Structures are given as structure tokens and as C-alpha cells.
Chain A
Amino acid sequence: MLTIEDTSRRRVRDYERERHASSQKGRRKINFSLVNIGKGIDIPFVLLIFVLLAIGITMMFSASYPVAYYEIGDSYYYLKRQLIFALIGLAVMIAVSFVDYHYYHRFAAIILGISYFALMLVLVLPSQEGGVHRWIGVGMFGIQASEISKFAIILFMAHWGSRYYDRMNTFKFGVLPGAAVFLSTAFLLLFEPHYSCIVIIGILTVVMMFVSGIKIKWLAIGAAILAVLILLLWVTGMLTYAMERMDGWGQALNEDLDRDMWNSTWQTRNSLYAIGSGGLFGLGLGQSRQKYLYLPEPQNDFIFAIVCEELGLVGAVLILLIFALLVWRGVIISLRARDRFGKLLGIGLTCHIGLQVVLNILVITDWLPNTGISLPFFSYGGSSLLTLLFEMGVILSVSRTSNIEKS
């Protein structure tokens, strides 16, 4: 049985040790220079990123050019912007890969604070289309507050989980901070509103807690509470009501919808049409018909429906395999990290990508309500691409650090 002094001492010792080690190693080994650009980074992971980005931008162009043609008059409108952001993003990624990720350790709490500020800021800023408060800044220079939140929470949970790794089995250290961060963030997101992000943040928090080593019991209790809540909603009929209110979720193919419901399920229905039209081998690259103004904003969240239509099940599964490889490689990198913070940070960011992919496709296939989850590397959007490549840079930084240390 450890005394409070013991634990406290050990905690400080561990923290100091980690900080020292990282700063020493980082300063010594990592030099920002083009000569060193490939040094230590995980080449398979980089290759996967490039492959996904290439396929993603190609498909984004294919999906977006009719919309760009009709609505803007320039078929290359989205392509040009996405290419610019991809180039900037790749530069950011490489730059970030040189940054010793241990720096984030210190700023974890501050970044979390910034994310809260951003979440509150969007509520007072003018609303966007559909009456939601999600964006800070305008147009190309905007960023979704929730993007900051997701990174901040992963970072904070990695920070907390590595700092108090030996107390994660307690309720106070293992459950309470994660629950508090999640609930407070979720509370703010309710006002945006941005439900899908609440789901993502919830899952990411649980994943981080789980990997950090909290007792399975707490997870089980949490799952039980969630189950009871859902059951209650179901018994009282509120679930059905909620499902109906959620833009006709699951109703997209019902031909007897009234006009309002028909219109609100328009995007999902046309997504299903696109996916179904693809069949096994697809209509061929560029041959989508649904992108001709049937599927609204095919370049955004629903881009994978066009991918399915053009490349078929075979193409879709191949792309998913590449994503799976990326996740697998991300996990490998994370597990090779020399310290706990690096491991947790890498796992959190890798999970984030996997989660986005799965949830995005569940949305476009009408298994989840249509609530705005973009597909990494594919969906159009400057800030989200920048954020994504920034996160990839962080993972690469983890790989670079551990590889260089190894050598």
C-alpha cells in the first residue's frame, strides 16, 4: 500500500523523468532540415497517407465537378482549393513531424482551455446554414470548433493517462477527469448543436480511458447506464420520436413519405441510390450519375457514396483496406513509442481517423442519422484537411522520435 507521499513523489518523479528525457532527446536528435525530412519517420504510414490523399483528391474532384460546374461555373473550383490545402497540409504535416511531441504535454491543459473557449465563442458568433454554430472564421479560413475539441481531448487524455498512469484504476483519476472533460464538452456541443461530434468525442474519451488502463468495471457500468437510458427512451416511445425527428433517419427509401420528410431525407436517399447503382464494380471513374445535382454536396460528407457508385463494392472495399492499413500502421507506430504519452497520443489520433471513417460510412448508408461527419482525406474542406494532416504530422513525430531513439 502506497502512502500519499509515495504516490505523489512517484508521480512527480515520473513526470519529471519523462519531460527531461523527451526534451533532451528531442533537442539532441531532431533537426529541422530538408536533409532529415525522411529520417526516422514511418515510411509505410507516409505512403498510406499519400495514397489516400491521392485517391481522396481524385474522387473529390470527380464528385465535385458537376456541382462546381453548375453552381460556380468552374469545374475545377473545388479541386484547385483542395490541392492548395493538401500542399499546405503536407508541409504542415512534415513540419509538425519535426516537432517533438513532448511539447504538447505541457500545453495539454492550455489547449483544452482553448477548445472550451472556441466552443463558447462559436455560440456567440453568427450561425451558419441550418442555424448551427460550428465555425470560427469564414470560408477557407474557417475551422470547426469541434475539430479543436477532438484534438484537445485526445491530447488531454493522453497527457492525463501518461501522467497518472499508475492511478488510472481509481475512479478519481481514471474515470472522473475523462467524464468531466467529455460531459462539459458535450454540454457545449449541445448548443451548437453537433450531436455526431458528441458521439465521436464520447467514443474517443472512452477509448483513451480504456487504453490508459481504467478498470473494465467502470466501462461496464457506463455501458449499463447507457443501455438503461436507451431502454427508457425506447419504452417511453421517445426513441421512435427522436428517430423520426432526426430527418427521417432510416426512412430514406420509404416512398410514402410526405413532402417535407421526402425533402429532408433527400440526401440520404440519393446517397443510397448512388451506392446501390455502383454494384460490384461500379459505373467507372467519373461515371457517377448521382453527382449531377441529385446528391447534394457530393464533395463533402457524402463523397463516399459517389466513390461507391463509380468504383463499386470492389473499389470501396479496397479504399477501406487502405484505411485499415493506415489504422494498423498508426497503432504500430504508437505502440513503438518510447513513452506512454506518445503511445496514448498516437492511439488516440489513429482511432480518431478509424472512427471518422466508420461513422461517415454508417451515415451515408443510413445506419446513423445524417449529422455531418466528414471522411478523412476525401471530403472537401480546407481546415479539416489541415487539421487531419496536422494530426498525421503528430503521429509521424511520434514515429520519428521513437525510431531515432532506437537508432
Chain B
Amino acid sequence: MGANQRLRRRTVWLLIIILAVGFGAVITRLAYLQLVQGEELQRRAIEQQLADTPISAKRGTIYDTKGKILAQSASVWRVVMAPAYFDDGAEGDEQRAFVASRLAAILELDEAELLEDTKQNTYYVSVKRRVESAQKDQIIELQNELSEKYNKSGIISLLDDYKRYYPYSDLASSVIGFTGSEDQGLWGVEYQYNDYLAGTPGRIISAQNGIQTEMPFDYNQNIGAIDGSSVVLTIDETVQSIVEKYMKQAIIDNQVHERGVCIVMDVNTGEIIAMASVEGFDLNDPFNVNEDQRKEIDAIDVEYLIKHDYFEEDEDPYKISDAKKKELIEQAKSEAESAALARNWRNKAISDTYYPGSVFKMVTLSMALQEGVVNKDSRFSCSGAFQLYEDTIHCHNTAGHGTQTYQECLWNSCNPGFIQIGQLVGKTKFWEYYQAFGFSEKTGIDLPGESEDQFFVHDGVEGNMLDTDLAVASFGQNFSITPIQMITAASAVANGGKIVQPHVVKQILDNEGNVVKNASTETKRQVISESVSKEMRGIMEENCTTGSGKNGYVAGYRVGGKTGTSEKLIDVNDDGADDYIASFCGFAPANNPQYAALVFFDAPLGGNYYGSAVAAPVFAEIMSEVLPYLEVVAQYTDEEASNIDTAAGSYTGMSVDDATAAAEGDGFSVTVKGEGSTVISQNPATGATIPTGGTIVLYTDESSKSEKATVPNLVGFGLSEVNDIAASYGLNVSVTGTASSSDSTSTAQSVPEGTEVAPGTVITVTFSSGGIAD
């Protein structure tokens, strides 16, 4: 082979190698990068090319049913850092240390962690959210220092952020709930409706070059944050406030150990008008325990550790090292704090299960009436106890109620009577109705933390009852339900037999105020007939006028209700005796029910633990204020007409004679103060309601206005005595509670004894009937 031939051949080989192998490899590699990996590489390229700054969305507002703001977001700032701007080398280390220490000082953060953050090679690290104005000013100062000292800008920036405020602090706290550090709902409506409230964060995307300065042309894309929708609750702030006011007072008065619950619900729609777990917590500071709890936690000592089993059996609590003791106490404190917070947040109205006790009798009787197993000829005897096999079940009236109709069984709240009614219903039907009334399922209320009932299980079969189970269940012991289940069932008893879906949210509004969603009334099923419901309403109304529920009577309104005292079978205060739950569940008006309310006190330790004595009067107090507010028309009995409240007219500006005549014409008695001839002022003011026959004080000169009356003691008397005493002091009395009953006595007055008030001031006096032990 000639040299030229070889050269030619080898050259062709070379050409093939260069083109096929070399160019082939290059093109393959490019195709792989551009087509296979292209998307990922482009994503990463865009990530660095675009400065992507999040914009916080403003969280929606939570309104009460009347449009009052319960939760709102206000503008604050978020501090962010772009650590990639730090220089390299020693200079960069100095800058990082400087920034970390300054930020730690201003924002009260951990300096070591901040130093770690400064070492990241990114343009966006969120340092702290919800920075308030004062700190913001310090951050701006730091920015200036950085640019002066190191000629660095852009390392620290401030972005818009929002902070949640709750104007009513602890009102309806466990219902409204609160948000966490990232503005996410953690509890209550804030949690349940987070998707609506949160909105969608926006972002500002701007092109940036490799050194993050301006581009020679503008490229900015602003994807605005979509502010969250607002939520309108069915809760009425006024009703909620009334409820919490009386609940707080009652909890103090009755030394309630485990908090109290009150739910006010629209029986026809399922709207929750008020839901209180008292004491609640400060929504503006949900992660701190209250002062009393703090004191208790601070007081934790060795004795506490011993009592709560912090020591091993072979350890001598008094001989352990100080370090170990300190460690255990810290542990106990932190555990106690967590437990206290959990307790504060807990929405007892839906999370606690309890034995409903005698309140449940309305359900048992409804079943019996619906099934037709009782009629006007049915008689149930009570000897004070009921013998079932080896068990003796006592009635609260140990003397016995004698022979009773089924109505009397309820009015007397007679356990043996209800055992017999329960037996007539039978185990199978009882279990069916138990389920139908909704006790075996969650109500599905739109709040987090709802508990399930705890029902009898025998041989592993749910609902499999023994005779004794049925006997005890017929008066509401032996199974646990939640307060929300109880009031839902009671609403069905009252509203014609419909189980309605309880809910706390009425409406969702978008950020421009347009209605996005309306909650509608959802009826799950008919559980008893309208006629049975009607009969039950009558029986329960009578229970509040003459029966065991008369402490729940609200003057001027037809109220039906049932008391309940149930055993907790737990000793909360270590006094050796099991404690009780006192409850009352009622509705009004009894002839056409609109609102039901359940009042529930967990472990009252003030001596009196009966539902009739502890819960029923609170129900009456609450309803006497709530029903007028809710514009439920009052229907007075003839007897009450004398005590009826009338609005005072306007007598000011008239001559004394004319004014006197007008006031007397309106049914008031008149006291004139001062020497003038014209009325310059009056008490009570125009429109204030006072009982008919009450006193109107007319002032005729300035000096007379400074006259004061001292409030006397009005507690512990009958109605007529209270009226007489008040009249003699020139004061008016507004009556609430069971005033009509002959054995009623006044139990509370709205203005304490000894207070100086203007003559004619209306003092609300609460009456209750003694002698009922249920």
C-alpha cells in the first residue's frame, strides 16, 4: 500500500472519528441537556433569574352575626434576609457576625441560629414575622448601618405582613380559635375555615441580573395576594357576652372546679347563637396561661412531684440531688403548662363527654310517647328506690314520689318512674332512638375537636345493653355524650322532631364583601312526630312553672326545660366524694320554640350541685336578657301582668303636674325631687323598662339630681317583700327567675348592697325556688 493511499485512508478514518464520535458526542450531550434535562435546568435558571418575593395575603375577618368584628388582621412587617449578598472571606464573616448579633438583639432571636442562617447561599430567608412598628424602625436603622459600614444593601429587607387581633380577647375564645406563627389557623373557626380565611399569598417576580442589581429594562410581574374571605358566624356577640357574664359569675358563686359550658342554639336552623366554655383564654395571647394558672405552676414543689408520681418507687423525694430535683420540677412545670393550655383551649361544649343525667329524661319520654308505650292511664310508682336484680337504684327523693303519671315522672324527675318507662320502650327501641337522636354520631358541627359519645358495649357489640344498662340509661347515666349532642337532641324534642345540623358559620364573604357561601338549614331526619313534640313542649313548659325545672322559669316567656344532676364518678378535688355535673337544658317560647339553651357546670364544689339549684337559675338569668334581645315576644301570665315591665315615657320638659299625670297614666308611681316647676331630668331614662307600678323619679332642679339612694339588701326575700323594700328606697325592681312560685326567694341582685345609685334605678333581682333536688 502506497504512502499516499494510507494517508488518504487514515484521513478518512480521522474525519469519521471527528465527525461521528466528536460531533456525535457533543450533539448527544446538548440534546440531553436541552431536551431531557431542559425543564429542570430552566426551572433552576429561572429561580435565580427572578427575584421572587412573597406577599402575605391578608387573612379574612371573622364577624359575628350582626357584623361585629371578632377577629381581624392588621398590618405589621416581616423581616427577611438575603445572605447571598454577604461578601466572601473574612470580611463576609465579620458582616455575618454583625448582622446576626444585631438581629438577635432587635428581634429577640437566637444569635447562633441567625448566624447559621447568614451562611446560607440564598436570597430569601424569612427571619421573623409580625414585627411591630418599633422593631421595624430599628431594622431600618440596621439597614442604614449596613450600607454605611459595609456598603451593603439588600441584605435585610422588610415586607408587608399581618397580625391577628381579637377585639373581644377572651370572648367565645374556644369557638373563634387562633392562628399560629405562619398565620395558619390552629383552633376553632380559624382552623376549620382556614382555607377560606387564609387567602392566597402573592409574589412579586422581577427579573434580576447575576449581581441582583437592576436590569437595563423593566421586567416585573406582580401576582397580587388574594386576601382571605371573611367568615360571618351565627354567634351573636351580645348574646355571647350575656352568656359569659352570667357563666363567669355562676362559676365563682358555685366554686365550679372544671369550668362551665353554655350553648344557645336556634332550634329550627341549628345556628349556634352563643357557645361558651368558661373560663376561656385570651385569644390575643393564646400560648400563655392565665395569671392564676401561672401562680399554680410557679408554686410547683416537691410535694406536687410526690402527689403526681414524679418519683420512682425506690426514690426518696427528700434525698435526691438538687440538680435532679430542679430537673423534675422543670419537667413538671412544663407539663403543667401544656396541660393548662390544653385545658384553656378545650371547647368543652363539643369536646367533653358527660352523663347527661335527668336532662336526658326528655328524650326517654319522647321515645315512649312516639312508640305509644305510655298513655294517660299509665302509672309509675316510686318508693324512693328501684330494685333490679341485685341492684338498688335510688331516687333523689328517698321518700318516694308515690304513684305518678308519665308527666309527673318528668316533673318530679323520678328515676324509678323513668326506669319503668325505659323498660316499656325496651332495649332495642331505646338503642334505635339513641342513634336517631344523634347520640351515636358526631353532630358534625363546623368546629374542630368534636368528641364521640361513649355508649355501652357488651360482648363487643355496640348498643348491646343489659337490663341494668337500660334502667340506668333511661335517666341519662351510664353513657357519655357531648353538650352539643344534648342540645341538638333537645332542639329536636322542641322543634317538632327534626334533628338539625348545628353550625357556627352563617356566611362566607369574599374580600370584596360578596357572599360566597350561605349556610343553609340542614335537617338530618325526623326523629319524633310533631304531635309528640307538641306534647313534650307542654310537659316541659309545665315542668318550668310547677315542676322540678321551675328555677329555669323566665318571667314573661313560656319556657320549657329540664334539670339534670349527673354523677361524674370522678373525684376532682380529692375530697373523697365523687363530683357532679349540674346542667339545665331548656327552650323558649314553649308554644313555638325558637331558642334552646344548655347550661352545664362541671363539678360545682360550692355545696350545692343540683342542676335545679346551680344551672337552672343561670339559664333563667341568661334567657331573661337574651330573649328580649333576640326580639322574642314576651307573653305574660295574668299574674305576671302586675310585674310586667313597661318602658318609661319621656316626661322631661313638662311641667311637674303634667309629667306626674303622664307618668301615672303610664302605670308608674311618681316621686318628685327638687323645688322647680319643670322636669329637667328623669330616672329611669326614656325607653328604659321598669316593672309596671315602679317608680319614676322626676327632677326639677340641678341640686336635686345629686341625691342618691343606697341599695339595700334584696336577697333572701319573697317577691312582694323585695318590691316593698325597693319601693321604700325609691328603687325599681326587675324580676327574673322563678318569682311566681310561693316558695321562691330572691337569690341575687344586679347591684350590690350598699352601692350609691340615683333614685329610681332598676335593680334586677333573681328569684329561685328551693326544695327541688335535681
The answer on a CB contact under 8 Å between B37 and A276 is: yes
Given A207-B14, A292-B210, CB of A358 within 8 Å of CB of B121: no
In the bound complex, residues from chain B placing their C-beta under 8 Å from that of A367 are 25, 29
The answer on a CB contact under 8 Å between A312 and B26 is: no
A323 to B26, CA, bound (A): 12
Q: Chain A: how many interface residues by the 8 Å CB criterion?
A: 58
Q: Does any Cβ of A come within 8 Å of B307's Cβ? A: no
Q: Does any Cβ of B come within 8 Å of A313's Cβ? A: yes
In the bound complex, residues from chain A placing their C-beta under 8 Å from that of B29 are 361-362, 365, 367
- Across the interface, B45 reaches (CB within 8 A) one of A289, A328, A344, A358, namely A289
Given A262-B121, A272-B41, A324-B19, CB of A165 within 8 Å of CB of B30: no
Main secondary structure of the interface of B (DSSP, over half): helix
The answer on a CB contact under 8 Å between A316 and B30 is: yes
The answer on a CB contact under 8 Å between B49 and A280 is: no
Rounded to whole Å, the gap between the CB of A212 and the closest CB of chain B is 7
The answer on a CB contact under 8 Å between B38 and A276 is: yes
A275 to B207, CA, bound (A): 19
- Across the interface, A66 reaches (CB within 8 A) one of B15, B44, B209, namely B209
How many A-B contacts at CB < 8 Å in the complex?
152
The answer on a CB contact under 8 Å between B34 and A278 is: yes
A358 to B30, CA, bound (A): 12
Bin chain B's interface residue count.
35 or more
- Render A352-373 as a binary contact track against B, CB cut-off 8 A, 1 for contact: 0011011001100101000000
The answer on a CB contact under 8 Å between A165 and B3 is: yes
The answer on a CB contact under 8 Å between A317 and B30 is: yes
Given A280-B34, A294-B210, A347-B11, CB of A362 within 8 Å of CB of B45: no
Q: Does any Cβ of A come within 8 Å of B35's Cβ? A: yes
Rounded to whole Å, the gap between the CB of A162 and the closest CB of chain B is 10
Q: Does any Cβ of B come within 8 Å of A133's Cβ? A: no
A280 to B38, CA, bound (A): 9
Q: Does any Cβ of A come within 8 Å of B570's Cβ? A: no
Residues of A25-78 whose CB lies within 8 A of B? 66, 69-70
Given A289-B49, A293-B209, CB of A275 within 8 Å of CB of B18: no
Residues of A204-223 whose CB lies within 8 A of B? 207, 210-213
Measured CB to CB, the nearest residue on chain A to B18 is A354
The answer on a CB contact under 8 Å between B18 and A312 is: no
Given A212-B7, A294-B49, CB of A358 within 8 Å of CB of B25: yes
In the bound complex, residues from chain A placing their C-beta under 8 Å from that of B46 are 277, 289
Rounded to whole Å, the gap between the CB of A35 and the closest CB of chain B is 33
Q: Does any Cβ of B come within 8 Å of A274's Cβ? A: yes
The answer on a CB contact under 8 Å between A279 and B30 is: no
Q: Does any Cβ of A come within 8 Å of B22's Cβ? A: yes
In the bound complex, residues from chain B placing their C-beta under 8 Å from that of A70 are 209, 211
Q: Does any Cβ of A come within 8 Å of B10's Cβ? A: yes
The answer on a CB contact under 8 Å between A293 and B210 is: yes
Rounded to whole Å, the gap between the CB of B681 and the closest CB of chain A is 79
The answer on a CB contact under 8 Å between A274 and B45 is: yes
In the bound complex, residues from chain B placing their C-beta under 8 Å from that of A272 are 33, 37, 41
Measured CB to CB, the nearest residue on chain A to B34 is A313
In the bound complex, residues from chain A placing their C-beta under 8 Å from that of B27 are 316-317, 320
- Across the interface, B34 reaches (CB within 8 A) one of A276, A324, A354, namely A276
In the bound complex, residues from chain A placing their C-beta under 8 Å from that of B31 are 313
In the bound complex, residues from chain B placing their C-beta under 8 Å from that of A293 are 209-211
The answer on a CB contact under 8 Å between B11 and A211 is: yes
Q: Does any Cβ of B come within 8 Å of A351's Cβ? A: yes
Of residues B14, B37, B207, which shows the largest number of chain A Cβ atoms within 10 Å of its Cβ?
B14
Q: Does any Cβ of B come within 8 Å of A166's Cβ? A: yes
- Render B1-23 as a binary contact track against A, CB cut-off 8 A, 1 for contact: 00110111011001100110011
Residues of B195-227 whose CB lies within 8 A of A? 207, 209-211, 215-216
A347 to B15, CA, bound (A): 9
The answer on a CB contact under 8 Å between A334 and B11 is: yes
Rounded to whole Å, the gap between the CB of B173 and the closest CB of chain A is 45
A293 to B164, CA, bound (A): 42
Q: B residues bordering A, Cβ < 8 Å?
A: 3-4, 6-8, 10-11, 14-15, 18-19, 22-23, 25-27, 29-31, 33-35, 37-42, 44-46, 48-49, 88, 119, 121, 207, 209-211, 215-216
Q: A residues bordering B, Cβ < 8 Å?
A: 66, 69-70, 165-166, 168, 207, 210-213, 253, 259, 262-263, 270, 272-280, 289-290, 292-296, 308, 312-313, 316-317, 320, 323-324, 327-328, 331, 334-335, 340, 343-344, 347, 351, 354-355, 357-358, 361-362, 365, 367
Known: A276-B42, A292-B215, A294-B210. 6 other contacts (CB 8 A): A210-B14, A253-B44, A294-B209, A312-B34, A328-B15, A354-B22
Q: Which 6 A-B pairs have the closest CB atoms?
A: A276-B41, A293-B210, A273-B45, A358-B22, A292-B209, A294-B210
- Listed A/B pairs (27) with beta-carbon separation below 8 Å: A207-B14, A259-B88, A259-B121, A273-B45, A275-B30, A277-B42, A289-B45, A289-B49, A292-B49, A308-B33, A312-B34, A313-B34, A313-B35, A316-B27, A323-B23, A327-B15, A327-B19, A340-B4, A343-B11, A351-B14, A351-B18, A355-B22, A358-B18, A361-B26, A361-B30, A365-B29, A367-B29
